[in-house]
Amino acid sequence: RPHLASDAPPPVPSAPLPQAAPAPVPAPAPSLLETAQALASAELKQKAAEAEVADLKNKNAELKVELKRSRAQEAAPWWPAALGLTLALIAVMIVAFGLLVLSFKKRIVRERRAQQESVQNLVKDTESRLLQKAVHDELTGLPNRAALNQTLGHAVTKARRYNRKLAVLFIDLDHFKPINDSLGHEAGDFVLKTIAERFRSCLRSTDMVARLGGDEFVVLVEDIVDQRFLGGVTQKLLSAAQGAFNVAGQEVHVSASIGIAFFPQDGREAQTLLKNADAAMYKAKESGRNSFQYYCDEQNTHSLERQALAASIGHALSSGELSVVYQPIIGLGAGQPLSFEALVRWHHKDLGNVLPHQFIPLAEDAGLFEPIHDWIVLSALKKGLEGRSAGQVIGVNVNVTDHTFYSPQWVSHLRESLEKTQFPPEKLTLEITEETLLMNPDEALEILQTLKSLGVLLLLDNFGVGWASLSSLKRFPLDAVKLDKSLLGGVPGETDAENMLLALLGAARQLEITTIVVGVETAAQKAFLEKAQCPWAQGFFFGQPQS
């Protein structure tokens, strides 16, 4: 039994005595539930330990297998692996080279295809340009002769099949060659291109205008219901040609002569229509130019005559078929001749007498008139000197065509002729038409001033049929004016004609311009001119041209 604190005597300090360890208190006995739980837990731990042992065994077995494989690989030879690797590299290189070759081939194919396309495009472009050049005029862009022949042939076939009418208009420019000769081919090309555009603007979209070459054009008009329609078209073309051209700051003029042939009455074939329209065009030129003519059968004869003339004109001078005749210009007061106009004549061995307006244009077109003109001038100067034995040199007048006037050599040839013959230049009068001066007024003024420096006299011929007025001609250094013979038509007797002539003579006197009236054939006309105080006159009434 434990001692109570009150029963114990007070402690006596002394050395402590060793005490025996307390006896363990026995744990209470576990219950049945706790025992079951402990058994279950122990069983789980045992299974987990067994699973861990089994896992370790498996890993151990895998390590042994891996170790065997590693030892086997270490024991195996090295070259199969190297060979495999080499083969693999070779295979990769072959594939890469194949891909490179394939890529290169594709590139070559692409480049070749692009090159072929480029060549094809170039060929197409070249073919297109060749075709364009084959059927179009290079300068104006108009259809050329080949295109015209083809189109006209189709048009004739269609007109014949459907019983329709068409017209061919053959156009030749007047006074074009002097522009080419004096201002150069660039100026001529500019005029041709400009007039081509003007002609196009005058026509319907269904009509055709083509350039044959040089200054020749052809217009094709189809489906004509009324032939009078052509009159309006032709007038438009004439007006288009007459418009001024500004070439390098200079104003130049041309006109046109047009011949017209109709299908079917004037020809049932394309070439026949062209030939007949050409013949009608020459008839228009012979009628004074700047006009049009319809074809008629007699023009075929004229066309054949022109061909014969053109073939033989080159020999006319050397064979002695050309001659010069002289017609006097008379002073109406004293009745004495002022001078004599030199006129060239051609007596063809087969065709007889050929008039100047028939053969001079042909000679100019053939480039043969320059030596003929020089010969005319020299002959006239020699004729004038025949009066020297009587103490007086006879004055002579020489006509200058527009082609000659703008030729670059003729003035120097004239100077040489004057020096060679020692003919007094003040006795030589050069007759130049109003139309010639107005073709290129600026250049004409320079040429006239050069001629005046030679000492010759200058006369304006055929005044009254062109565009100029007397006052506008004061800018030119002219010594006299010849009124065109058409102004005497109806004089005397017709009031309008008389008033027109009187007005011109009065204006000339006021401007102090010497005037000569041409075409006097009757005594009544002479008397009228004397009453109008006309100083000089010329015509058959005073005498025929004589050698």
388 three-state secondary structure? helix
State the pLDDT at residue 130: 56
State the pLDDT at residue 134: 72
Please give the biggest Cα pair distance in the chain.
Answer: 213
State the pLDDT at residue 1: 45
State the pLDDT at residue 78: 65
State the pLDDT at residue 259: 94
What would the DSSP string read from start to end of 427-476?
GEEEEEEHHHHHHSHHHHHHHHHHHHHHT-EEEEEEETSSS--TGGGGGS
CB 383 within 8 A of CB 396: yes
Mean per-residue pLDDT pooled into runs of 10, the chain (547 residues): 50 54 58 76 80 80 78 65 81 86 84 77 63 79 90 91 92 88 86 95 93 93 82 90 85 91 90 91 86 78 65 84 94 86 90 83 82 95 86 91 88 96 96 84 91 96 70 83 87 87 88 90 93 93 89
State the pLDDT at residue 481: 92
State the pLDDT at residue 244: 86
State the pLDDT at residue 261: 93
Q: How far apart are CA 433 and CA 541, in angstroms?
A: 23
Residue 405 tokens read as: 């006037």
Q: Which of 432-466 are b and which e, b meaning 16 or more Cβ less than 10 Å from the residue's Cβ?
A: bbbbbbbbbbebbeebbeebbeeebbbbbbbbbeb
Alpha helices in 322-401 (DSSP H): 356-365, 369-385
State the pLDDT at residue 366: 75
Single out the residue of 303, 296, 294 nearest to residue 275, CA to CA.
Answer: 303
User: Does 304-538 carry CATH code 3.40.50.1980?
Assistant: no
Close Cβ partners of 284 (under 8 Å, ≥ 6 residues apart): 257, 258, 259, 291, 292, 293
Sequence ranges of the domains in the chain = 145-295, 304-538
State the pLDDT at residue 95: 86
State the pLDDT at residue 178: 81
Superfamily holding 145-295: Reverse transcriptase/Diguanylate cyclase domain (3.30.70.270)
State the pLDDT at residue 44: 82
